[in-house]
Amino acid sequence: MLILGIESSCDETAAAVVADGEKICASVVASQVSMHAKYGGVVPELASREHLRAIEPVVDEACRQASVNLHDVDAIAVTEGPGLVGSLLVGLVYGKALALAMKKPLVGVNHLEGHIHAVLLQNKIDRAAGKPVAEAKVPAVTLVVSGGHTSLFRVATVIPGAGAQRARFEYQQLGHSRDDAAGEAFDKVARLLALGYPGGPVIDKLSQFGDPLAVDFGHIKMRGNPLDFSFSGLKTAVLYRVRGTELAHEAEERQAWRKTVQRPTIDELRGHCSQATLDLVTSFQHAVVQDLVQRTLAAAEECGVEDIFISGGVACNSLLRRRFAEGGKGFHVFFPSLALSTDNAAMIAAAGYYRLLDGQRAGIALSPHASFPLGTRP
Ligand code: KG4
Ligand code: ZN
């Protein structure tokens, strides 16, 4: 089954052609990151307009790279939410129009479900290529960690009813961020220190040069559900260490310097950072990663699963990958490639494949949802 996936929930316009939920024939991502960089974050109105401009060329390019004609596609899977409504609307209306015009089945996919399926898709690709990796199995605990979300899920398959041929994926939310998502905290700290946007990749790279134990942020304490997250306190702790100090003055100078250079290299940026700034961001990253790892391992222990899946933009973080590689406590921990960790449409097509097999079809009434919970909640 050849599925055209479409994703436009935030600031990436993406289309992909995926065969049988396991082989990527093409995956095209048009990132708007440089456009939003000068504002230090995503500007929703600009994002919608850019999606409108990019959607057709991106879908065309995916078909061209996959050497398929739109008539060859068996079904269309499109992100339904959560995300920016104006952005979602562009991909969704485009997908609906294609499905109607070409008389193809259409299915809506939850963006978070897409991130989870990125892990399973990667695993199938690796195993088909003969890589010596274990099979990613459910039930598993999944951490979806990005600029918009930090959530833990238990994912499992169930047979929906007597006589059913196919298993259906089921999700149970175990915890979520009560305030900032982890990626959002990276972006806000980078903005505070005038390090650029998006903040995650910059802080990740600068953290090679700092001391992770220079600033002790302590453990993040949670009242109530211990599998929930909260990163706004950490972000404020960084703010207090900067405001009214030499570090604030240094950030102002860096801001002025950054206006004179287009895209500074990490070495150039490092050249404009004091050791105290490097130590602060390195300690901040250490604290975020420590918290993500501890709560994810606690969730896996509580659920009694063997497999852990990590996905979303922050899954690109090198320290997070290292920590799980070192201290997976006997769990099998799976990450997608960097390209499948950040927003893409291959993950939407892969997740849509299982919904289509399950007989699910969306009609003309399919509409975008800014908030779109996945699965059951505690
Ligand atoms: O999944 P994604 O592409 O979009 C959302 O659904 O949000 O994630 C983008 C987020 C941004 O906040 C970015 O700063 C963060 O992922 N990110 C990272 C790294 N690469 C991207 N955070 C930490 N370390 C990284 N290496
Ligand atoms: Zn995402």
Question: Residues 168-188: pLDDT tens digits?
Answer: 999 999 999 999 999 999 999
Q: State the pairing for strand pair 150-158/106-110.
A: unpaired
Give the distance (Å) from ligand 2 centre to CA of residue 87: 13
Model confidence at 340, pLDDT cuts 50, 70, 90, reads very high
Atom of ligand 1 nearest to the CA of 342: 3
Q: Can you tell me which residue has the tokens 């994703």?
A: 7
Tokens standing for 172? Answer: 């149970």
What's the longest Cα–Cα distance across the chain?
A: 69
What pLDDT, on the 0 to 100 scale, is given for residue 165?
67
What pLDDT, on the 0 to 100 scale, is given for residue 167?
78
Give the distance (Å) from ligand 2 centre to CA of residue 161: 32
Q: How far is CA 166 from the centre of its chain?
A: 28
**11, 20, 137, 320, 366 from 334: Cα distances, Å:** 26, 21, 10, 12, 32
- Residue 255, pLDDT above cutoff 70: yes
In the predicted model, what is the mean pLDDT of residues 236-256? 97
| Nearest residue to 204 (alpha-carbon basis) of 219, 220, 189 | 189
What residues sit around ligand 2, an ion, with C-beta below 5 angstroms? 146, 343
pLDDT tens per residue, range 69-126: 999 999 999 999 999 999 999 999 999 999 999 999 999 999 999 999 999 999 999 9
What pLDDT, on the 0 to 100 scale, is given for residue 13?
97
Dihedral sign from CA coordinates of 183, 376, 19, 98: negative
CB 193 within 8 A of CB 277: yes
What pLDDT, on the 0 to 100 scale, is given for residue 161?
74
Atom of ligand 1 nearest to the CA of 182: 12
The radius of gyration of the chain from alpha carbons, rounded to an integer in Å, stands at 21
Mean pLDDT over each residue of the chain, to the nearest integer = 95
Model confidence at 39, pLDDT cuts 50, 70, 90, reads confident
What pLDDT, on the 0 to 100 scale, is given for residue 164?
67
Kindly state the helix (H) or strand (E) to which residue 153 belongs, with its residue range. Answer: strand 150-158
Model confidence at 282, pLDDT cuts 50, 70, 90, reads very high
